[in-house]
Structures are given as structure tokens and as C-alpha cells.
Chain A
Amino acid sequence: MTDQPLPSAGLDHAAPTPSDASSPDASLPPASIPDDAHWPPTDGWRRVSAKYIVVDVVGYIVSGLMMTAVSLVPLVLFHWSLGWIPPVVVGTVALITILLTPRRVRSIGYQLRADDLLFRRGLAWQRFVAVPYGRMQLVDINRGPLARALGLSELRFVTAAAAATIVVPGLPEQDAEELRDRLVGLAESRRAGL
């Protein structure tokens, strides 16, 4: 990679830095991608409301119960000798998912950078997305029944690419509306074509 026309320094001098675990913002699970001074930013992440854990947990409990019930069918109706295996497996997976929910919710973060919206989520499967404000097609605010009871909203930042559509769940209603107005304003000032 000697004579390659890189637009800027970024890729050429990789300075190994201490990993994220020792970063000031210890509330976020350690990101394992880093190794680099620029990436990923360790601070400045705005997190979603802790109340969203409730919404997520309830959702997982309901779906976990339903799937466990379905997996009980071979045991209850057909009296299969190995029929206990599916409900145990499904139940265990559901339980682990539910237990990890607080950490998973804490892993959701977003940043309003100068020209783009940066979003991250996920524990085992981590995902970072950066979408320039100018690419915004529309902003949605959705409220499910449980989230509404807790005063939370979900904000969707929709672009022309499905994979570059950002969904920020668990925002307090006031914050969601402010964020929406802010994003619309930013998108307007950085208008770009398709």
C-alpha cells in the first residue's frame, strides 16, 4: 500500500492505543473493533432511556413464552419421548436473551456528528452505521402501546437504502421530537441528491 491514492492519512499510520475497556465511558460494553486513535469514538455516545429495557424485556418474555408453548406441542399432544428437548432449548435461549437485554439496550448509542449520524448497537453482533444527514428521506416517530405507557418513542431515520436506515428505540418523547426537528434541520441545511 505504498503508492496508493488514499484520500487522507487515516489508513496509513495506525497507532495502537489501549483498548476501549479502559475508556472513560465505562458504561458502554467494550467495543472490540478499535485499536485506533480515531475509531470508534469512545465518548460522546448518547444512550437510550433505561426504561426501554422494560419494553424489550416484556417483548422477549411474551415471544419467549409463545415459542416455548409452541415447542411443547410434540410433548403434550404426541407424547414423544424426547419431546422435552425443544421446550428446554427454546426456554434457555429465551432466558439468555432476556437476561442479556439490559446490556444489549445499553449498547445502543448514537452521535450527532458534524455532518452525519452515527449509530451503534449489538453485543455479540455489533453494528455501526454512519449516515450523512443530507441522505435523509424522512424521519418517523413510532410509539408502541407499552413504550407509550412509559413515555418512550422510537425514531426512524429513513434513507434510500434499506441498510442505511437507522432506528433509535427508547427515546423519551420530548427527546425524540427534539431529535427529529434537529435532524430535519440538519438534513435541510445539507441537502444532497439521491
Chain B
Amino acid sequence: MTVDPGPAVPPPGSPSVSSGAQSGFADGEWHRLHPATPFLRGGLTLFAIAGIVIVNLRDILLDSVFGGPGGPGSEGEPLVLLTESGFGGLALLGVLVVIVALVVGFYFSWRMHTFRITDEVVEVRSGILFRTHRRARLDRIQGINIQRPFLARLFGAAKLEVNVAGQDANVPLAYLGSLASDQLRREILVLASGTQRAEAAATTDPAALAALPLVAATPGPATGIVEQRVNELLAPELDPELAPRESVVSMHLGRLIGSLVLSETTVFLVLLIAGLAVVFARTGEFFFIAPLVPILLGTAGFYFSRFTKSLRYSIAGTPDGVRVGFGLFSTSNETLPPGRIHSVQVSQPLLWRAAGWWEIKLNRASTSAAKGAAGQANTTILPVGNLSDVRKVLELVLPALVDPESIALLERGLTSSGRTDDGFHNSPRRARLLRWFSWRRNGFALVPGAVLLRSGFVWRRLVVVPLARAQGVSLTQGPIERRLRLASVQVNTVAGPVSASLGAIDAPTAGRFFADAARSTIESASADTTHRWGSAAVTPASFPTSHFPDGAPA
């Protein structure tokens, strides 16, 4: 029994509590994960099984001591059968062997699971019989997220996942010390940003200083591990020192509840209840009312989990990119370095219109196992927010669009009816055959380094594609569109929930859009340095640098 799931042992090589801001992991040497890892990853089920066995054994023990003949229900229970058949000892031995084998297996899998972080790559070696060796280049990092399930939080552990472009190409490091994982993330991002090591030390300094009060506030091991855990549990989800206050967008509680109430689920539920009530009123049979109970219980659970998962939601701009965090019991937060956002969509479901709420989704090159807020895909970066939230989030995810003209254009893109000349190249009047209501609003705008596609009259939608990330531009025309001298344009991006396409545009205008967008794509891409975002920055610790240093007017 070498595995000690207790929290008292600090992870090897990670002086997580005492040594301030350095995790000690990013030194190019091989390290192991948190010793509680086997327990947190799968050992829990083992304990659950053991618990069930023990409870059953206790019943048998009580029966044999008090001479009870066993209840009528216990006839078929396997354990009862075993004890009565006399093979009990053998069975017990078998169970013990299995448990020992599992424990040994867990221990070795922990021993063999090592990782290292160098200036160029993150590497993980794992597996006992089937060894895997995974290596991810730092300049290809698409994001890093840290998850803290409730149980892991109790043990002061966290799951760190390095996201790289592609399906199933992520590098998970589960589990690490909670504090160490935060520091490791910062170190990985500093390495990935291309900032030189000497500068890196300087860069971490302000952050380290910022982290110091936190470290000082959390008492060392001498003060007691329990107190430290409690402090960690009660700490705010977003370290206030990490991001400038004005860049933080947090979720308003009333808005969160309102967005849940005004959702498609609610509409469906109301319709269902109304339907069942009508049927009940006409037939008078309780048979039709009965399914309501499980349905109501299910939806209540759904609302509750979405609610708790969206609590403490915040988006903030940190020096290493946009940080999205949320969660009350189990927390999760993710950092997207600059230039990892391939397209952005701001949309407004019809039910949210009166309240003026919007939702923001992204396309990203990586897929993460981690869920986003409210159990949605983590491509939903803002589950619900008003116009000023949207403005702040767009500033964070599209740092290139800083000039007032572009910002004004973005806002007009959201709310303008398109009746007046609002800077968008909208569909001509003849497009109303294809876009019955939205033809006035259906249009695009080109700003330096980005394309804005606006559509929808009932369900409003604005898509912004930073051209430095666009993979190509296409133009299509079907037979009906040809008759109407219309065409469709599409900015091709990596797969995701956002589709940057726009139909029913005046054909010559679409042709010029195609030519212009194709040219700016090339210009933006060649001017783009975000794969090593820190190396091009004027000061290493500056706010996320522009995607388009040459394109955007300062």
C-alpha cells in the first residue's frame, strides 16, 4: 500500500505551498503528477465497490450472529449464496487479489506517468504495457484550461489540459497541485509566447508579486493543511490581481436566471405541460398527467446544474490572453492566448430580444474535453450578456478592432435595422425574394484585418472573422441567385459552431468582396505573429497584442 491518497504529501518536485510563484515544473526535467491522482481518477469507484461489499458483509454478519434466517429478499444475493456454499474464504481471497492488483496497477501507472515542459514542447509519457509518448509544440497551443472538480478541490488538486489544434490532440495533466497548476499555466504561456527566458523572469515578476499576497494569505503547512484548503475553497474564482478590473465581465445573477427561464427548454416545457393539461381536461384520466412528475424533476435538475455551473462566471483579459472561468463547487477556467480565435458570432435568440441579451460563440482550432459554462460547449464564451458585456467581450476576443470606427460598426452590426446607410454593404431590394424580412440587414463590412457579416431580422446574428485566421474565401452562386444577380460569400474557418457565410448579396459587390477579402487575408496572415505572441510585443507584459500590427490603425 504505497499509495497515499492523503493530501498531506506535497507532489514531488513541486513545492506547491511554500515556494512562491514558481511551480518548478517548467524546468525541462521530467516530473510526476500529484500523488492523489490515482485516487482522484478512478480509485473512487474502488472505494465505492468496497463500501457496497462491506455493507453486504455486515448484513450477513448480523444474520449469522443473531441467527436470523435471512430476509425473504436475501435468498438470491450472491454474497449470501457464497457464505452459505462454503466458498466464502476463497471469494474473499479473490477480492483481495483484485484489490491489490488494482492498487499496484494504479501505483505503477502513476509512477510511469511523467511529463516535462521545455522551451519548445510539452511532453507526456504514460502507460505501463502500452506506452504513449505525446509531444505538443508550444507555439501551437490553442488554450490551456484548468478544471477543479469538487473532490479534487478538497484535496487541493487540479486538472490541467493543454489544448492543441486537432481532434483528440490535447495534452492532459491530471492531477497537479492546485496552486502549482496555476503557476505552471503561466509558465507554459510565457514560454509559448516566445518571450526569452531572461525577459520571462521579468515578466513573471509583476505576476509573482501579484500572487504573493495570495500566498501570504494562505498559511503555510505549519498553520494547518485544513485551513489552507478552506481558504482555497473560499477564494474568489478569479484572482483579482490577475486581470485589470475594467476588463472583467462577470455574470449578473438575475440575468442568468432570466436567460434560463427565457430558453427553448422553457418554451418546450410550457408547451408540453399545456398539451398534457388539455388532454387531461378532456379525458379526465390521470394516466396523462403521470409523466409530468419525472419530466418536472428532470428539468429542475437541468436548470439547477446549468445554474450552478454558470455561477461566478467571469471573462477577463490577462497578459496571456482571455481567461474564462466559472463554477461554484467544481470550477473550471481556461486561458485563450491571443490569436487563437478563428471566428466570433454574436447572436440574439428571439426571446432575449426584449431584455436586450446576447450570446457569443467562437470557433477554435482545438476541441477540449472540458465543458464550458452551463454545461454547454466551451465555444460559448458568453452564455448571456447585455450590450455593454458584449462590447467588453468583443474587445477581449478581437483585440485588433480597437479603432472607434470599427467598434461603432460592430455595434451597428448588432442592432441597426439596416434601413439607413450604416456602413454595411447590404443586400439589394431584389434580394427580398430570398431574404423575406432580413434583406435590409443582410450585409457585410470590411474593416482592417477583419470581416463583419451581419444577417437575420428575427434571429439577429453578427459574425466577425479575424482575417489573419481565415483559411480561405469562397464565392458561390446557384441558379436562382444567378437570375436575381445575387451571390453568396463565405469566409472559411476551422470547424465550429460559427459559420461565416452570407447569402443573397449583390453579385458584383460579392465579387469585389471576394477579391478584397482574399487579398486582406494574405496581408493579415503575413503580418500575423501571434503564434509567438510575446516575441512581437513592445513590452513583454503588455496587454494582448494586436493580431494585425500593420493593418490596424493605432
Contact = CB atoms under 8 A, between A and B. Distances in A.
Interface of A: 1-8, 10-11, 14, 32-36, 38-40, 115-116, 118, 122, 124-132, 134-135, 159-164, 190, 192-194
A125 B474 contact: no
Contacts of A40: 511
A128 B475 contact: yes
A2 B421 CA distance: 9
A11 B445 CA distance: 11
A32 B482 contact: yes
B514 A130 contact: yes
B219 interface: no
**Among all A-B residue pairs, the 5 with the closest Cβ atoms:** A164-B472, A164-B492, A161-B471, A131-B472, A35-B508
A194 B469 contact: yes
Nearest to A32: B482
Given A4-B423, A39-B515, A161-B495, A193 B475 contact: no
Given A115-B522, A129-B492, 7 more contacts: A1-B421, A32-B482, A32-B485, A39-B511, A126-B482, A160-B365, A161-B492
Contacts of A35: 507-508, 511
A122 B476 CA distance: 9
Interface of B: 139-140, 142, 165, 339, 365, 403, 405-406, 409, 421, 423, 425, 445-448, 469, 471-479, 482, 485, 487, 490, 492-495, 507-516, 518-523, 525-526, 528, 530-531, 551
A163 B507 contact: no
Nearest to B478: A125
A127 B520 CA distance: 20
A40 B475 CA distance: 10
A147 to B, nearest CB: 25
A163 to B, nearest CB: 4
27 contacts: A1-B423, A1-B425, A5-B405, A5-B448, A6-B446, A14-B512, A32-B477, A33-B507, A34-B511, A35-B511, A38-B512, A118-B518, A124-B479, A127-B474, A127-B475, A127-B477, A129-B472, A134-B522, A134-B525, A159-B472, A161-B492, A163-B472, A164-B492, A192-B526, A193-B139, A193-B530, A194-B140
B520 A125 contact: no
B475 A132 contact: no
Nearest to B510: A33
A7 B518 contact: no
A132 B515 contact: no
Nearest to A12: B512
A116 B531 CA distance: 21
Contact of B476 (A39, A126, A190): A126
Given A7-B446, A8-B516, A163-B492, A130 B472 contact: yes
A11 B446 contact: yes
Given A7-B446, A39-B515, A163-B492, A192 B528 contact: yes
The interface centre, meaning the residue of A38, A125, A132 with most chain B CB atoms within 10 A of its CB, is A132
B481 to A, nearest CB: 9
A128 B251 CA distance: 43
B490 A125 contact: no
Nearest to A6: B446
A132 B521 contact: yes
A160 to B, nearest CB: 5
Nearest to A123: B479
A124 B509 CA distance: 20
B476 A125 contact: yes
B518 to A, nearest CB: 4
B512 A10 contact: yes
Contacts, number: 155
A33 B478 contact: no
A132 B524 CA distance: 11
Contact of B495 (A122, A162, A190): A162
A35 B522 CA distance: 24
Contacts of A193: 139, 339, 525, 528, 530-531
The interface centre, meaning the residue of B471, B475, B492 with most chain A CB atoms within 10 A of its CB, is B471
Nearest to B165: A194
Contacts of B472: 116, 129-132, 135, 159, 161, 163-164
A95 B490 CA distance: 32
A33 B511 contact: yes
A116 B471 contact: no
A126 B487 CA distance: 10
The interface centre, meaning the residue of B403, B423, B518, B531 with most chain A CB atoms within 10 A of its CB, is B518
A5 B551 CA distance: 12
A192 B474 contact: no
A4 B551 CA distance: 15
A102 B526 CA distance: 39
Nearest to A35: B508
A128 B489 CA distance: 9
A92 B404 CA distance: 58
Given A33-B510, A131-B472, A160-B165, A38 B515 contact: yes
Nearest to A126: B477
B271 to A, nearest CB: 36
A11 B530 CA distance: 29
A126 to B, nearest CB: 5
B471 A159 contact: yes
A5 B406 contact: yes
A156 to B, nearest CB: 14
B474 A130 contact: yes
A124 B521 CA distance: 28
Given A116-B518, A128-B514, A135-B471, A7 B448 contact: yes
A14 B381 CA distance: 39
Contacts of B523: 7
A163 B474 contact: yes
B508 A14 contact: yes
A32 B474 contact: no
Contacts of A118: 518
A1 B441 CA distance: 14
A194 B137 CA distance: 13
Nearest to A159: B471
The interface centre, meaning the residue of A7, A35, A135 with most chain B CB atoms within 10 A of its CB, is A7
B508 A124 contact: no
A14 to B, nearest CB: 6
A10 B515 contact: yes
Nearest to B447: A5
B519 to A, nearest CB: 8
Contacts of A10: 512, 515-516, 519
B177 to A, nearest CB: 31
A192 B547 CA distance: 13
A164 B514 CA distance: 14
A1 B418 CA distance: 12
A189 B447 CA distance: 27
A129 to B, nearest CB: 4
The interface centre, meaning the residue of A1, A33, A162 with most chain B CB atoms within 10 A of its CB, is A33
